[in-house]
Amino acid sequence: MRIIIILLVIFLVYLIVKSLFKKKAGRKIKTKKSIEYCRFCKAYVAPEEYCLNKNINYKDCKNYK
């Protein structure tokens, strides 16, 4: 009877430890995007949407007001 209880405890500890390690490995680190002020659009935009970086006319920009 003691052997069965000990095996159950070991198995439960194994499951708990396994689930804890799985959660830590599955996390993704989020990086913040830098935001710049575009003087032509008069709005804060991400660097990918910046008018001058895309070499487009600022009046054709979707953020232009």
- Judged by DSSP in three states, 11 sits in helix
**Whole-number Å distance between alpha carbons of 53 and 49:** 8
pTM of the model: 0.38
Residue ranges covered by each domain of the chain: 2-60
The pLDDT of residue 18 is above 80: yes
What is the model's pLDDT at position 26?
55
pLDDT tens figures, 21-61: 775 555 666 677 788 887 777 778 777 776 665 556 656 66
Concatenated DSSP letters of 12-34 = HHHHHHHHHHHHHHH-----PPP
The pLDDT of residue 13 is above 80: yes
Residue 19 to residues 10, 11, 13, 25, 56, Cα–Cα distance (Å)? 14, 12, 10, 10, 50
